[in-house]
Chain A
């Protein structure tokens, strides 16, 4: 049934594992070529630069943020950002309806997006990669079961499931992270499964089998390392997706709960006054956009650099 889709996405998503053995021995080493390509890749450079800035912002939030992101000051509500009519440098991005400094909330909000996005992507990566490798390596019934799980997962409407669970389980960040991890592992499984299937037949796996290596040793030492490039590329896409889903959940009021500064929540809070203070939705929305686009650019960059023939 859905296995056609599963195989198709796999084919287009999976680049051949390691091309290094096909390089001419006289040519520069693959690593050197990769470094050269990386230096010339504009998207990768821009993407990683933006990510680095946002990560530094999140890590050093207490040092950078000009105000306490939770401190309300009802006498200083809805002040325009610095470029607005009555804006001042005191609140560069203005203040929100409760008089909180938007810039400070933005800086602290980066922590939420990065924490949720990264941790949930790791959880999803572990689940999906484990399932994909097991299915691809053992084949037969194990594989049929993995494909079945993937199909079940694909059939679930992600946003609605996330909303339902999140509404009952309360607004804990930990619960949200685990939830999103369990809802986004499918792509890892699909790609690693088909790559493992291809790899299983290749010489270096055959030779370690012949040399008497155990299955678990082959899985850990031979197959997993060869999948890592691809898994990292999927992780970047997945992290971008998770950040968007978290923002959407928070926007609908069922993700991160107030007063925690989450970017999605900030857009939601700004919505009530968006007709006369549009900056309150524009600024946090742009932050989400910027982070997601940077992660996608970096991910595309890694793909181009590690397997340039797999573009498209």
Chain B
């Protein structure tokens, strides 16, 4: 058990290092940062001066090691535009994005898991078909378009919620629902598939042969097993939501990490962009590790693997 997790931890660390190199080098490799920063009409001297100012003229690996060693001390550099420390910029906004992602995940699970169970129990009836249509349609709806439609319908037409901003809880309803809809289809499908498999398993037949009530058979014996992969998926989705909230945050003008990343990308504020990329990747890695731990807790067989 312990060895199992130590091994995973080591792999996770390797992945994190690789991801940090990619995050760090992405902007530098996509074009000449100094000339982009200098603007279109800059002279070669200007570009050279900028490169020197930001240390972009040094060898790549030195830039990276420099950044990593200070990052490990908690110093991610400063924004080129506001001169604020990047770590503070991120910490100020993690609450908004984290809250958004976690609420969306919870909402999605609350809707999608029961729907998936229903679809499996009523397989090949119109319940099942309705759930399938919902999931296919949900998967095909562009996130940003759905957000705009929500604004048109619920904020402009019905005036139930404010259009944008982050002053109150009401401001977060539409962003959370938009994000939740984007991950509901996969959760629902996985729940349905898991339930279908488990419902035809021998141990569910045993549970029925014991005379247990349909409720106990379904929720104690079947769902408990079918939910295991959904838990793994949920961790992945939380990581996806953290990175994917950029669209929703920029549409609803929420001051989270995604919006910060978007602004910084537009302004080529590379210290901020690279830090956010690496931060989100590492968050994903931690989340998957966490989901493995939860899975080991939920599934007694895991120790054997």
Direct A–B contact in complex, judged by CB atoms less than 8 Å apart? yes
Q: Which residues of chain A have a CB within 8 Å of any CB of chain B?
A: 1-5, 8, 12, 148, 151-152, 154-161, 163-165, 167-170, 240, 244, 247-248, 251-254, 264, 267, 271, 274-275, 278, 281-282, 285, 288-289, 292-293, 296-297, 300, 312
The answer, yes or no, to whether B31 is at the interface (CB within 8 Å) is: yes
Q: Is the CB of B266 within 8 A of A167?
A: yes
Q: For B258, what are the chain A residues with a Cβ–Cβ distance below 8 Å?
A: 160
- Contacts A168-B36, A248-B247, A281-B149 known; 7 new A-B pairs at CB < 8 A: A164-B273, A244-B143, A252-B250, A267-B142, A281-B145, A285-B149, A288-B142
Please give me the 8 A-B residue pairs with the lowest Cβ-Cβ distance, nearest first.
A157-B243, A285-B145, A168-B30, A293-B140, A312-B193, A292-B140, A1-B8, A168-B31
Q: Is the CB of B11 within 8 A of A161?
A: no
Stretch at the interface among B55-63, B86-94, B213-221, B279-287: B279-287
Q: For B42, what are the chain A residues with a Cβ–Cβ distance below 8 Å?
A: none
Which of B15, B27, B31, B136 has a CB less than 8 Å from the CB of A300? B136
A1 vs B295: C-alpha distance when bound (angstroms): 12
A-B contacts, CB under 8 A, total: 168
Q: Is the CB of A254 within 8 A of B265?
A: yes
From known contacts A12-B229, A167-B265, infer whether A285 and B148 are also in contact, taking CB-CB under 8 Å: yes
Q: Is the CB of A289 within 8 A of B141?
A: yes
B25–chain A nearest beta-carbon distance, Å:
11
Q: Is the CB of A288 within 8 A of B243?
A: no
The answer, yes or no, to whether B242 is at the interface (CB within 8 Å) is: yes
**Chain B 249-285 interface mask (CB, 8 Å, partner A; 1/0):** 0100000001001100110100001001100111011
From known contacts A252-B250, A289-B141, infer whether A1 and B12 are also in contact, taking CB-CB under 8 Å: yes
A155 vs B239: C-alpha distance when bound (angstroms): 8
Q: Is the CB of B139 within 8 A of A240?
A: yes
The answer, yes or no, to whether B190 is at the interface (CB within 8 Å) is: yes
A244–chain B nearest beta-carbon distance, Å:
6
Determine which residue in A152, A253, A285, A296 has the highest number of CB atoms from chain B within 10 A of its CB, and name it.
A152
Q: Is the CB of B144 within 8 A of A155?
A: no
A170 vs B288: C-alpha distance when bound (angstroms): 34
Q: Is the CB of A164 within 8 A of B277?
A: yes
Q: What is the size, in residues, of chain B's interface with A at 8 Å between Cβ atoms?
A: 68
A20 vs B289: C-alpha distance when bound (angstroms): 40
A168 vs B232: C-alpha distance when bound (angstroms): 35
Q: Is the CB of A148 within 8 A of B15?
A: yes
Q: Is the CB of A271 within 8 A of B19?
A: no
Q: Is the CB of B250 within 8 A of A293?
A: no
Q: Is the CB of A4 within 8 A of B19?
A: no
Helix, strand, loop or mixed for chain B's interface?
A: helix
A168 vs B274: C-alpha distance when bound (angstroms): 13
**Chain B 5-28 interface mask (CB, 8 Å, partner A; 1/0):** 000110110111011001100110
Which of A5, A12, A159, A267 has a CB less than 8 Å from the CB of B193? A12
Which of B15, B141, B151, B292 has a CB less than 8 Å from the CB of A4? B292
24 contacts between A and B (CB under 8 A): A1-B15, A4-B292, A5-B288, A148-B14, A154-B236, A154-B284, A155-B282, A156-B281, A158-B243, A161-B26, A165-B30, A167-B266, A167-B268, A240-B139, A248-B143, A252-B247, A278-B152, A288-B145, A289-B142, A293-B136, A293-B140, A296-B139, A296-B140, A312-B193
- Measured CB to CB, the nearest residue on chain B to A253 is B266
Which of A1, A154, A163, A240 has a CB less than 8 Å from the CB of B246? A163
From known contacts A2-B288, A167-B268, A248-B143, infer whether A160 and B280 are also in contact, taking CB-CB under 8 Å: yes
Q: For B280, what are the chain A residues with a Cβ–Cβ distance below 8 Å?
A: 157, 160
The answer, yes or no, to whether B244 is at the interface (CB within 8 Å) is: yes
B288–chain A nearest beta-carbon distance, Å:
5
Q: Is the CB of B145 within 8 A of A8?
A: no
Q: For A5, what are the chain B residues with a Cβ–Cβ distance below 8 Å?
A: 232-233, 236, 288, 291
- Measured CB to CB, the nearest residue on chain A to B21 is A152
A161 vs B25: C-alpha distance when bound (angstroms): 11
Q: For B266, what are the chain A residues with a Cβ–Cβ distance below 8 Å?
A: 167, 253-254
A28–chain B nearest beta-carbon distance, Å:
23
Which of B22, B33, B262, B285 has a CB less than 8 Å from the CB of A163? B262
Q: For A297, what are the chain B residues with a Cβ–Cβ distance below 8 Å?
A: 136
A164 vs B260: C-alpha distance when bound (angstroms): 12
A104 vs B273: C-alpha distance when bound (angstroms): 37
Q: Is the CB of B18 within 8 A of A152?
A: yes
**Chain B 111-146 interface mask (CB, 8 Å, partner A; 1/0):** 000000000000000000000000011011111110
Q: For A271, what are the chain B residues with a Cβ–Cβ distance below 8 Å?
A: 148
Q: Is the CB of B192 within 8 A of A312?
A: yes
Which of B14, B140, B265, B281 has a CB less than 8 Å from the CB of A164? B265
Which of A155, A159, A248, A281 has a CB less than 8 Å from the CB of B15? A155
Determine which residue in A164, A167, A244 has the highest number of CB atoms from chain B within 10 A of its CB, and name it.
A164
Q: Is the CB of B284 within 8 A of A274?
A: no
Q: Is the CB of A169 within 8 A of B30?
A: yes
B115–chain A nearest beta-carbon distance, Å:
14
Q: Is the CB of B261 within 8 A of A160?
A: yes
Which of B22, B36, B265 has a CB less than 8 Å from the CB of A152? B22
Q: For B223, what are the chain A residues with a Cβ–Cβ distance below 8 Å?
A: none
Q: For B15, what are the chain A residues with a Cβ–Cβ distance below 8 Å?
A: 1-2, 148, 151-152, 155
Which of B196, B265, B295 has a CB less than 8 Å from the CB of A312? B196
The answer, yes or no, to whether B52 is at the interface (CB within 8 Å) is: no
Q: For A274, what are the chain B residues with a Cβ–Cβ distance below 8 Å?
A: 148, 151-152
B74–chain A nearest beta-carbon distance, Å:
21
